[in-house]
């Protein structure tokens, strides 16, 4: 990919973030919720986070269910405006960031157990987002590898000695 294409991609991701930010700002106004919207580019996707309001936990919901729905609605709003499918990530009140850290730690703990025992270990079912975080955390540990097994919604990560 040429440098020009990378620049265009980043410009496009910034544009996605701006459209998403406008959409979410309108939503917060309708709901009469306070929150600061932060836009960023994280690798190959736009990243939008909302922080600051005490009532934002309502927008996260039970185990992130409302957050996932809002993320999908925001992606659809971006697609409606720009014409292309968006892969933007939405975080509210740091929920995804905290979840990411907890999952990474869980992956490291299981990797350590597999290293010590020499036995593979199957983790609980997870969403694709959660499995990706676990795979990334395990990839950083020498001597173990990971794979996924099963079918959605019961797909799970298996940690194996390398």
* Structural domains in the chain plus CATH codes: 3-93 (3.30.300.20), 98-161 (3.30.1370.50)
Range 53-72 average pLDDT: 90
Torsion of CA 110, 113, 115, 119, to 10 degrees: -100
10 Å CB burial of residue 70 (0-12, 13-18, 19+) is buried
pLDDT in tens, 5-50: 444 488 999 999 999 999 999 999 999 998 999 999 988 899 999 9
**Strand 45-51 relative to strand 89-92, pairing:** parallel
pLDDT at 40: 93
pLDDT at 2: 42
pLDDT at 8: 43
pLDDT at 27: 95
Q: Partners of 148 in the beta sheet?
A: 157
**Could you tell me the pTM of the whole model?**
0.79
The residue with tokens 């939008």 is: 48
Range 108-117 average pLDDT: 96
Q: Looking at per-residue confidence, does 4 or 89 come out higher?
A: 89
pLDDT at 4: 41
Whether the pLDDT of residue 110 is over 60: the answer is yes
pLDDT at 5: 45
DSSP state of 50: E
Cα–Cα distance for residue pair 152/159, rounded to 1 Å: 18
pLDDT at 112: 96
What are the backbone angles phi and psi of residue 24, rounded to the nearest 5°?
-70, -35
């Amino acid at each position: 990919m040429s440098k020009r294409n990378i620049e265009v991609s980043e410009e496009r991701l910034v544009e996605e973030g701006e459209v998403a930010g406008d959409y979410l700002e309108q939503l917060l106004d309708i709901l009469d919720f306070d929150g600061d919207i932060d836009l960023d580019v994280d690798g190959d996707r736009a990243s939008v986070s909302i922080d600051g309001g005490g009532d934002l936990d309502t927008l996260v919901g039970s185990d992130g269910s409302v957050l996932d729905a809002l993320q999908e609605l925001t992606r659809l709003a971006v697609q409606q405006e720009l014409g292309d499918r968006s892969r933007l990530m939405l975080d509210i009140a740091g929920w995804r960031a905290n979840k990411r850290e907890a999952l990474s730690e869980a992956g490291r703990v299981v990797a350590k157990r597999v290293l010590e025992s020499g036995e593979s270990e199957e983790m609980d079912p997870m969403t694709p987002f959660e499995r990706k975080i676990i795979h990334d955390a395990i990839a950083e540990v020498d001597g173990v590898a990971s794979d996924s097994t099963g079918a959605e919604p019961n797909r799970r990560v298996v940690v194996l000695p390398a």
